[in-house]
Amino acid sequence: MNSPKVPHTPPAPPYDRRRFLRIAGGAAAAGALAPNAFSHLQGETPTPEGVDLADILGGERLAGVEFTSDEREQIRRSIGDLLGVYDTLRAARLRNDEGPAEVFDPRLPGFAFRSQAAPARLLPPERPNLPNDDADIAYATIAELSHWIDTGQITSERLTTLYLDRLAKLNQQLECVVTPLRDAALDRARRADAEIAQGNRRGPLHGLPYGIKDLFDTAGVRTTWGAAPFKDRVPDADATVVRKLDKAGAVCIAKLTCGALAYGDIWFGGRTRNPWNTEQGSSGSSAGSASAVAAGCCAFTIGTETYGSIASPSARCGATGFRPTFGRVSRAGAMALCWSLDKAGPICRSAGDCAAVLDAVAGPDPADEATIDLPLAIDMSPRVRGMRIGYLKDEFESDAATGDDATTLEALRDLGCELVPRTLEPGPYGELIFFIISVEAAAAFDELTRFNLDDRMQWQDDNAWPNTFRTTRLAPAVEFMQARRLRRRFMKRAAALFEGVDAVIAPRRHGALHALTNMTGHPAITIRQGFREDGTPTAVTLWGGLFDDAGLLRLGGALERRLDLWNQRPPIG
């Protein structure tokens, strides 16, 4: 493409963006922004001066390149065109749910998937009769709760009241609830009871109370994303996951805390706590989901993960977290942090519970172009003998491995699994994924930065989002494209790691594998592995092949039952 020549003399005047910025800033102050998640916000936009040679020199240092004096002068004369493109993009006022044109697909060329569609085969209830103690009911499995409702031993209304009361009591210590939904939940529970009494049983989740991370839209109920700038945000439609759970007959009892803009356990109202030790935060942005379900405050919860936000709080709180394959569950109506990495999945008290919930929420959705229509075919029967499990041999034999790690490998052998040694080639997995997240997230929340609204965020440390968004503003676009290319290389590396095995395991929560598999889209399950001397749980994660969510759930469930730690309760009650 030919470009018009730029005259060498006289020099082009400094590019002045003040007119555009004055218009944008005035629109924001007047509340006249285009209808989107930012339309209720107000703030001032900084007004930069024209670009000079010192700015270009600073840009060179940040980008790690060096130009000659003549090249700098040429850039100074022509950079106004690039800045004009920036202004055009900003004038578009993109919504949070408007992702990039390129939709991430975890499948490499030659990907083969052999499973056929089949009804889910879930675990039967271990206790057929309703316990007398409310705490025993609260910590029951989905299979048991469903059976007791189905056989008339308990009503959804009574179960919902039990969980609502428990949540209200324990929330004083856990800080895991943003918005309780008592009246709406009880009304929904009564309707569920009426439907069941008429023989209209919808499935295993019918009448079961659940909580959902407060970044999933709920029509007419505020969805705050855990951040002060959005604490009064009220959507007018339900997220796809919420609609699917409503169709399954489940009863939403609370919007649960989310680390501000899906980062950490600090939200605008405080810090969510670990039920095993309330002096600790619950970790990860699905903080409220893991804390609430681990404390027996609901039957199940829904969380999200971009880089550890299901696994990390599940490990800390002793919950069972399942991160599905990227594209397995719709994110439509959920806050977008990183379009190419965000995943939604269940956080429960057992793998069997995760299977029941995933079966209800999985599936393609036209509203989320990243969803992929492949059969799920869950089968939670304990048939895992003969499964081949890749394990990072050198790391299990290193000083970093613990006795719990050795016990877990032995348990897999006892189940009849074949352990296959694997080696993960070193790489900058953590650095790469956080760079990708930072760039996409900075774009998703660009207006917070440009209108200085990030000052309203509670967490303002160097590692918090406001500073990350500002810093990422200075990242070269070329480096982001290089990061995407390197991600493709790592997808091929992961494919080789999973070749010929049904799952992969590493000691404790393995940072490199979490980073790598979040980038490649592989599913993961986090379960209890042991307990520390202070009584808090430890966890192990297993990773499965792409879209083999069912096989990973079956393996995770078998290992969980073999270790026999999943049903121990935290001291909170």
Which residues belong to the active site? 213, 285, 309
DSSP 229: G
469 phi and psi, to 5 degrees? -60, -45
**How far apart (Å, rounded) are the C-alpha atoms in residues 282 and 110?**
40
Round to whole Å and give the CA distance between 171 and 159.
Answer: 18
Question: Which tokens sit at 191?
Answer: 């309707």
**Nearby residues of 4 by Cβ (< 8 Å), 6 or more positions away:** none
First to last CA, the chain: 69
Distance CA 289, CA 167 (A): 12
Residues near 336 by beta carbon (within 8 Å), at least 6 away in sequence: 96, 97, 99, 342, 444
Instruction: Round to whole Å and give the CA distance between 97 and 531.
Output: 41
Q: How many helices (H) and strands (E) does the chain have?
A: 19, 15
* Residue 115 neighbours by CB distance under 10 Å: 15
Identify residue 479 by its one-letter amino acid code: E
Query: Under a CB-based contact definition with an 8 Å cutoff, are residues 97 and 342 in contact?
Result: no
Q: Would you call 496 helix, strand, or coil by DSSP?
A: helix
Does a cis peptide bond (omega within 30 degrees of 0) precede residue 14?
A: no
CB of 217 closer than 8 Å to CB of 307 = no
What is the DSSP code (8-state) at residue 14?
Answer: P
Enclosing H/E stretch for 530: strand 524-531
CA distances from 466 to 15, 48, 213 (A): 27, 19, 22
